[in-house]
Amino acid sequence: MYQRILVPIDGSPTSLRGLEVAVRLAMLTKGRLRLMHVVDDLSFALCLDAYGGKGGDWLGFLRDNGARVLEQAKSAVAACGVGVETMLSDNFSGPVHLQVTVEAGRCRADLIVPGAHGRRSAGRLVLARGAENILCCSTVPVLLAPLEVKAAAAPRRESEVATQ
């Protein structure tokens, strides 16, 4: 059973959907969650680029933001009665998906639950790049948690259109 569930989160609606699914699963299996936030080199580079590398502790800002995201998620999970721990990775030791899969092995996770974009394209599920890469690289099972897609109105039959 899935007792050790790793959930990468960044505060986005997509990652929060993954968290929601992971909490439900942990409640069913009496499992624990390990929430992981990665301060990645791309975010750091974009922060520097946006401000021309001038002034400020951008790495500190990104760390503080990650810690805040983790604390908010931890509080929400604990309120559901699920065991939870957090992990902030800020060592720039590779792309996010590799850091997540390495952490899954290190903490002996039974499952990784990333959020994914549920977008239809020719009948296929197109994943957010991070979730797709985690799925491709992971040696443990991955449960993708797509954002709920609102169903489009059913097309009307010709007879319904003709009577209007």
pLDDT band at 146 (very low <50, low <70, confident <90, very high): confident
Q: What pLDDT score does 60 carry? A: 81
Q: What is the pLDDT of residue 84?
A: 98
List the domains of the chain with CATH numbers.
4-162 (3.40.50.620)
Query: Distance of CA 62 to CAs 10, 56, 67, 89, Å?
Result: 11, 11, 9, 11
pLDDT of residue 63: 87
| pLDDT computed for residue 127 by the predictor | 39
What does the pLDDT look like over 24-44, one tens digit per residue? Answer: 999 999 999 999 999 876 555
Whole-number pLDDT of residue 47: 54
Q: How many percent of the chain have pLDDT more than 70?
A: 71
State the pLDDT confidence band at 6, using cuts at 50, 70 and 90. very high
Higher pLDDT, 108 or 43: 108
127 within 8 A of 110, measured Cβ to Cβ = no
pLDDT tens figures, 48-101 = 544 555 445 777 888 888 999 999 999 999 999 999 999 999 887 788 889 999
DSSP string across 6-52:
EEE--SSHHHHHHHHHHHHHHHHHT-EEEEEEE--HHHHHHHHHHTT
Question: Global pTM?
Answer: 0.78
Treating both helix axes as pointing N-terminal to C-terminal, what angle do 58-79 and 13-29 enclose, rounded to 10 degrees? 40
